Structure 1
């Protein structure tokens, strides 16, 4: 079966009216460069067939050029937010989470085995050089297949049954990737917040590659960039997800102009960005973004004093009252979007914990169910979330087409009597003088929950859960640990349980990878050893000894080879049912609300939306390149 997504199929407006094309407005920001002969007009900067964004169909207004938007970031690393929120992808999601061509003019695939990509004629990188099949070829042959640059082997996303694709350049504007088996995750990975890299600006990157650069010049560049090898140099200069190299050409709507270290990063409009509105006006509307580095702890305070024009990260629902109060004193507006996490926070019992007695309990579903049933989620919702969240297991939201109410209800009601019965069944009937249950070896049933200590939310919730669990004879102790050591300590069996955000993607479709429900990586804190076993193809860690966890891995493998949409839906359903029934993570509440602060003069920012890292890319699927300033531009 051949499926084709073209520009004509995905847009209501199929062409730019000739009269509109003739009267394209130019941003004042670019006029000096055009007057100096350093830039062509929009007609010379745009692809022959740009992507047309029909704002009317999206319920938005056609905007106008100009303005600078300020954002606050917690560290210089957070400049990656411009890559995430800018959300220019070869293939990307829209706000309905449907995939379509974006940077690509079109794509087609045959049974998800053979993918053919068509590049827009005349599409250019931000430095004005043409974007062609050579940029795909360079990335494949000279980067991905280079053993020096890929010492860990090919990205797993490019392997099907352990085998890489066959790559072909069909012509200057067409490339093809072919596998013998289906690779249903290929397009979603290209649309991801941190997308799979299969294209690079070859004309720029070749100067840092030993195949194309003479040794003396390469040594000089290594010294200039303070790197020890040409490999380190190439990696440093090619980093696009965290765009620290101002010279690196990009296809994003804005490009970084500031070299770190810096306290302020300036992103300016990409003169060659490939999207236009329905009138033929080149996007983005906003000229610049200023990202000001600030301590994470005071981002809310600064946002409340009008120091940000567009802020979503660094603020939380707990700050909502302060943010709304700022509307009275500063020209800002605050909306509430629905967070897409499966649970705002969740308890993750480490099924690979080093203590044999505790590991046996934690691996027993009855114990996990008892802990879940003992939690009074309604109380937590009222006390911590003002009753605006939804008590639930750690699972997907009603906004997902895969949602079923029984997933949310699984072992998430408050039933301490049932919890006590389950614990008695486990042989934990004996208690000490304080009413705390005793383990078979005589120790008190004391659970240590570790948190990153980055928010008072964790502590507030855990203090309530401490009271809930004490009523069933379980002690809870809170320990603060460093985020960057969680992975190694959990992997080493040193952490019994963590409090961590729930499932990343709470709004999946059947065509999105369900790997978050199975042990697949070593940073899944409830089963890191099993995840490492999957990640290393059996070379490290060990396979799950819990049958239901092993079944999740089998189902995931089946999803990759499913032949019909119905099969994928069924696999998702079985995995969700197992995950929630087994309580592999203990959810608390979901459908929490995320404040989105914007300048009162900024237009086209939706009042409501879905907010999360994956798959919505924070603000990304809502196209910040279409945001614009009305009167009194900031």
Structure 2
């Protein structure tokens, strides 16, 4: 039975009901049939008015400075490996709630998202919304995910994910009606809403009508066992998880809510993704999105993708091309009949040096945890020179932190201890007592070893290795010797966790454009895969079972702030927490960033509505997703 509603909740529900009354239904627009689907109407498809929800998401392109497009056509893009077909579910970016280009969360698949006290969330679906196979998308699809998938110990042996817990407790889940569900926690849960908008979201809904046939509670176990045997799987749970493929796009039979869907499993080299005829968005001219009929992804060796792009073989390309390819792409624009846009990359820094604050060697640990040492290393880097040499001056010299586009940005976060000042760097190292030098000028550690820093790298990026050479040149002026050591990602993580790594080079914070509503997880030691404090993160992640309890003051404070954010209930409170976290990073120089806002080439061939100036990143950008790839059209 539904619990009695509080006055606050009654008001929220009443406002939602009012919104339903004043919303513009699909029938208020003159819907136009998509030309490529017209021949199927009456054969295997109903008319467009019966395919879109009763209240579809109507996009106002003109108000956003874009054009109403013409439906039809396809685009070609290149991918470096067959599993990258899953990017169609990233770029399509149909989410329950999603970020707009101002980094605000808006209902998308949902008609409404009602939040109360930061702990009660009512999700309202669009009446008449359908999966790509025409079956209704209802609250049963969310109930099925929560009760039959997420809470099933055979399917999810690790239990509910963190975003579904508040104060360590699961929610009260209620089905209100066919289009309304509610998740209620006793404590605030600021992780829940932004998690739904990620590039790889948790998909807290499933096509129950399709997946129930593989579930032990609903399906024929004899048929399930036979199918599992055919696919060489050991259990019904393994079969279910294989068929439950919302992200990877490997099961063409699985219904979807994304703009393009895979309909056939006939190739590992060329993937054709077709328009979803039941997609929920329309433009103000009454045309159903996406504009493009299909997206064709062709697998090519990543090393030759820049050359193939220059030759005009891609209509939309950013994957597997980088800043170093800009010159040849610009030279090929006329012959290939394409344009090369330069979008700022949304990482906190293109390249970042990560001192390992949990290094096991006691001498190195004392040195690394001395703030003066990290300041000296940072002041000993000529970032302006690196920006000119590697990025032709297009980037921004500074720390690994939030970018100017983030509402949390302050200039001091980027600039503190980030200028080139070798005299001050030498003073700081002298203050630490590192005054002894060997014959070639390299300083000596307190135990007499030379101050030689081995910086471990994946070896995947020549750009990183070139940057290390430039850093090494100016570090020599302050008596520090740098050696780069190519390695592999997994090995680097193992060495960081065991405390053997002294320093690593990596890209900066993945999300350099956060708002206060986004989790500060990347900026605090709560995960074991972060190379700058792997042992502390592992301790937090495993509840103290493994790793090492942090005792370094700034790390302890960062964890306190993170836990305060997890129970925060207001925008103002979360903003204050974020700023203290960013101040600690700036004052302590925990990461030594080099250059940020480096440009990502985005090749565009005869496509409209692709912004010339966008942002390129994973979260919250979803590469093209935040710019609404379903609105791109053939010119």
| Structure 1: segments with no counterpart, 5+ residues | none
Q: Is it true that 1:24 corresponds to 2:39 in the alignment?
A: no
Q: 242, 249, 255: which one pairs with 1:249?
A: 255
- 2:41: which partner in 1? 34
CA distances 1:80-134 after superposition (whole Å, capped 9, x unpaired):
2111111000011111111111001111011111101111111111111111111
Q: 1, 6, 15: which one pairs with 2:24?
A: 15
Give the Å deviation of 1:7.
12
Does structure 2 conserve the Cα–Cα contact (< 8 Å) formed by 1:71 and 1:290? yes
Q: Distance in 2 between matches of 1:516 and 1:608?
A: 26
- 1:605: which partner in 2? 610
Q: Is it true that 1:519 corresponds to 2:528 in the alignment?
A: no
Q: 605, 624, 629: which one pairs with 2:629?
A: 624
Q: Is it true that 1:182 corresponds to 2:188 in the alignment?
A: yes
Q: 295, 306, 314: which one pairs with 2:320?
A: 314
- 1:218: which partner in 2? 224
SS of the aligned residue for 1:106 comes to: strand
1:472–1:316: structure 2 CA closer, same or farther, 3 Å change rule?
Answer: same
Give the Å deviation of 1:598.
1.0
SS of the aligned residue for 1:347 comes to: strand
- 1:558: which partner in 2? 564
1:445–1:609: structure 2 CA closer, same or farther, 3 Å change rule?
Answer: same
Does structure 2 conserve the Cα–Cα contact (< 8 Å) formed by 1:76 and 1:261? no
Q: 135, 139, 142: which one pairs with 1:133?
A: 139
Q: Kindly tell me the number of residue pairs found equivalent between the two proteins.
A: 624
- 2:5: which partner in 1? none
- 2:149: which partner in 1? 143
Q: Distance in 2 between matches of 1:8 and 1:575?
A: 40
| TM-score between both structures, scaled by the size of structure 2 | 0.95
Q: Distance in 2 between matches of 1:108 and 1:217?
A: 41
Q: 91, 94, 103: which one pairs with 1:85?
A: 91
Does structure 1 conserve the Cα–Cα contact (< 8 Å) formed by 2:23 and 2:55? no
Give the Å deviation of 1:543.
2.2
Q: Distance in 2 between matches of 1:527 and 1:8?
A: 50
Q: Distance in 1 between matches of 2:33 and 2:28?
A: 12
Give the Å deviation of 1:19.
7.2
Does structure 2 conserve the Cα–Cα contact (< 8 Å) formed by 1:530 and 1:541? yes
1:260–1:470: structure 2 CA closer, same or farther, 3 Å change rule?
Answer: farther
Give the Å deviation of 1:147.
0.8
CA distances 1:161-194 after superposition (whole Å, capped 9, x unpaired):
1101111111111100000011112110000111
- 2:3: which partner in 1? none
Q: Distance in 2 between matches of 1:537 and 1:203?
A: 39
Q: Distance in 1 between matches of 2:27 and 2:130?
A: 22
Q: Is it true that 1:70 corresponds to 2:70 in the alignment?
A: no
Give the Å deviation of 1:495.
2.0
Does structure 1 conserve the Cα–Cα contact (< 8 Å) formed by 2:203 and 2:246? no
Alignment map for 1:147-546 (pairs within 5 Å): 147-259=153-265, 262-546=268-552
Does structure 1 conserve the Cα–Cα contact (< 8 Å) formed by 2:536 and 2:548? yes
Give the Å deviation of 1:20.
4.2
For the aligned residues, what is the CA RMSD? Answer: 1.9
Q: 97, 111, 114: which one pairs with 2:103?
A: 97
| TM-score between both structures, scaled by the size of structure 1 | 0.95
Q: Distance in 2 between matches of 1:17 and 1:131?
A: 17
| Structure 2: segments with no counterpart, 5+ residues | 1-7
Greater mean deviation of Cα atoms: 52-61 or 203-212: 203-212
Give the Å deviation of 1:561.
2.5
Q: Distance in 1 between matches of 2:16 and 2:325?
A: 43
Give the Å deviation of 1:585.
0.7
CA distances 1:513-571 after superposition (whole Å, capped 9, x unpaired):
11211012111110111112222233332221211011011011112223432222111
Give the Å deviation of 1:268.
0.5
Does structure 2 conserve the Cα–Cα contact (< 8 Å) formed by 1:7 and 1:51? no
SS of the aligned residue for 1:513 comes to: coil
1:587–1:253: structure 2 CA closer, same or farther, 3 Å change rule?
Answer: same
Give the Å deviation of 1:484.
3.3
SS of the aligned residue for 1:100 comes to: strand
